[in-house]
Structures are given as structure tokens and as C-alpha cells.
Structure 1
Amino acid sequence: MDLRKKIRIIDDFPKKGISFKDVTPILKDPKSMKHTTKEITKYLEDKNIDVIVGPEARGFLFGILVAQELDLGFVPVRKPGKLPFKTFSVDYALEYGLDRLEIHSDSIEKGQNVAVVDDLLATGGTVLGVTKLVEKIGGNVSALSFVIELTNLNGRDKLKGYNVQSLVKYDDL
């Protein structure tokens, strides 16, 4: 299946000059959603994964589907103040400034193998923050999987040493 045909391109969103890659048509179509889940699952099957982690918000959508398919638990990573229990946090770099991510302090056991699943790899800032957070609480990041990768933003370069998969690659913004 050619997932590229299911990704909607919206020019000048969220601002002029950006070509937004919208994954919601994949989620709307059961066959595309199942195909996406199966492709990520196939990649992760031999990685000895214990738990799936997904960053807010679209990482939740794909991460939960993959976790269910692999019969694993799912751990959300959220923006500050969104998780009700004790959390660990990490600051991460954005293009202009910093942001923060949080995870429940009891969500990953020391030594557990983690796969991070998200919709998009762009500059790599968010996923690098997620990997630091997982490692901070004792998890091992065994794999990173993305539906889309924007190759011209070189996010993969920040992820050297990690196993990285992307299903669809674009070389434009």
C-alpha cells in the first residue's frame, strides 16, 4: 500500500512556507490504519520491546495501535501539567527556545526496552527529548518508529546510535 497517497498535504499550515503532512486520512481509513500499524509492528517484532512510548498528541494515536498489536503497554509522554501523578521531566530544544516533556515516574521499569512511536520525524527535537526522558528513568530506547520523516530537516542525524524507521519520507518542508 502506498501510504503517501493517504497523507494529505496542506500548504502554508501552520504558517506560510510550511507544507503540513496530515496523517488523519490514514486514521480515517481502516485499511491504511491497519497497514501502518502492521508495518511498524513488523519493524519492532525482533527488537525485544517491553513497552511502547508515544509523545503527545499523534504519537498517542499510532503508539496505542502498535502497543495493542504487540500486546504491550502504552506510556504517554505529555506537555507539562497534563499528567496527574508524580512525573519526571526533561527540557528539549525547539527551533527557537525550549519546551518540556513529562512522563509518569512509575511508567517504565529500570531496564525495560522501549520503542518510541510517533507520526513525524522532523528536526528530531521532540523525539530526542523523549529518548532522554526514557533513559532518565531507566529505560532502554531500543527503537524509534515514525509514519513520516522530513529528511531535509536532518532529524535522523540527532538520533545516531538508535534504530530508526520511517514509513514515508519527504524531502520538502
Structure 2
Amino acid sequence: MNNQINLKEYIREIPDFPKPGILFRDITPLLAEPTAFQEVIDRLTDYYRDKKITAVLAAEARGFIFAAPLALALGARFIPIRKPGKLPFETRAFHYELEYGSDSLEMHTDSIHTDDRVLIVDDLLATGGTISACIELVKHTDAEVVGCAFLIELLFLQARHKMNGCDVFSLIQYDSE
């Protein structure tokens, strides 16, 4: 695997977006390059291939981009986690507190089974709020969270330590903003 693509080359940095002082890591150049996008899916598949994943879960929206093809590659079900009111069937919700307010995530009540081995996927691990909520949502089903996978991890925010013991795997890390 010495010929791996340098995925960081496909991440565009946008200063002061969405507000002043934030350096946004834009994944759209990577998504626009099929070879780089395929490399992401291949590396994630290689890492999780032998972990007996039965379901791949992602919160909307950018997590869907990576989770759906990864689920196919692993032969697992894809489970979308959505904001309230977006799923048409009976749902289970998890409400969580943010720095300034609260939020909720929902999934269909029949999407996860107690014997499932679940992988949670997102594009970016920053503060960890959404992923922690996804972990809690899965825990309420008695299924096992096998890991949390990300394209990008912002190490300086130290969210990995807030993941309730979840094994965290990321392909690109940034040590500072």
C-alpha cells in the first residue's frame, strides 16, 4: 500500500467559514475526484473488513456520502440518522445538549437489532457532539458499537476522548486549526 494517494491534497481550506476564526476543511474537491473518493472507501473497507460489521450508521448529511458506499463494500445495512420529522416510519429519538441549546436525532425503530455490530461514520470529527449522540442512540438498542470512522479528525479538539470508549479511526488528522 505504498502507492496510497495523499488524501490531504484533496481537502480545500476555507478561512473564516462559516464564521470568522474558523478554518473550514472542504471535502468537495475529494468527492469530485473519483480516484481519491474510491481510495477513502477502500481504506475504510480494509480497516473494517474483518470486524463483522452488520450495520453502518451515519447522521445526515455528509456522513451519508461515505457511509452508504462503505456499507455496500462491507455487505452491511446502511442506517440513516436524521433530524426530527424526516423519517417516515416509527422512530426512536435521542435528545442531547449543545453549548447553546439542544438538538435531537432519530432513527427508525426497526433499523438496529440487538445482535448488530454497528459502525458509525461521519466526514469529520470535531467536537464529537453528533457522534456521541449517535453512540447513545445505538446503546439504547443494546447493539454493539464496533467503531467510529471519519475521513477527517481535528485532533486539537480532543473529541476522541469523548467517544464513550468507541474505537476511533480517521484517515486524515489535523493537529491545529
TM-score range relative to shorter protein: over 0.9
Aligned residue for 1:18?
Answer: 22
The residue that corresponds to 2:62 in the other structure is: 58
Instruction: Tell me the equivalent position of 2:141.
Output: 137
Question: Given the alignment, which residue of 102, 114, 118 partners 1:114?
Answer: 118
Secondary structure (helix, strand or coil) at the match of 1:157 reads helix
Q: How does 1:6-155 map onto structure 2 within 5 Å? A: 6-155=10-159
Give CA deviations for 1:58-97 in whole Å, capped at 9, x if unaligned. Answer: 1100000101111221000011111111101111232322
Query: Matched residues in 2 for 1:95 and 1:60: separation?
Result: 25
Q: Is the 8 A contact 2:128 2:163 kept in 1?
A: yes
Distance 1:96 1:49 in 2: 35
Output the amino acid matched with 2:114. K
Cα displacement (A) at 1:119: 0.2
Structure 1 residue 160: Cα displacement:
4.5
- In structure 1, runs of 5+ residues without a counterpart are none
Tell me the CA shift for residue 13 of structure 1: 0.6
State the shift of 1:171 in Å. 2.2
Deviation readout 1:87-131 (Å, 9 max, x if unpaired):
011112323222111010000111200001110000111100000
* 2:175 is the alignment partner of 1:171: yes
Moved runs in structure 1, 4+ residues, more than 3 A? none
Q: Is the CA contact (8 Å cut-off) linking 1:116 and 1:143 kept in structure 2?
A: yes
Instruction: Report the TM-score, using the length of structure 2 for normalisation.
Output: 0.94
Instruction: Say if 1:134 and 1:140, in contact at 8 Å, map to a contact too.
Output: yes
TM-score by length of 1: 0.96
Q: Secondary structure at the match of 1:79?
A: coil
- Structure 2 portions without partners, runs of 5+: none
- Measured after TM superposition, the shift of residue 139 of structure 1 is 1.7
**Identity in percent:** 46
Aligned length: 173
Decide whether the 8 Å contact of 2:54 with 2:75 is kept in 1: no
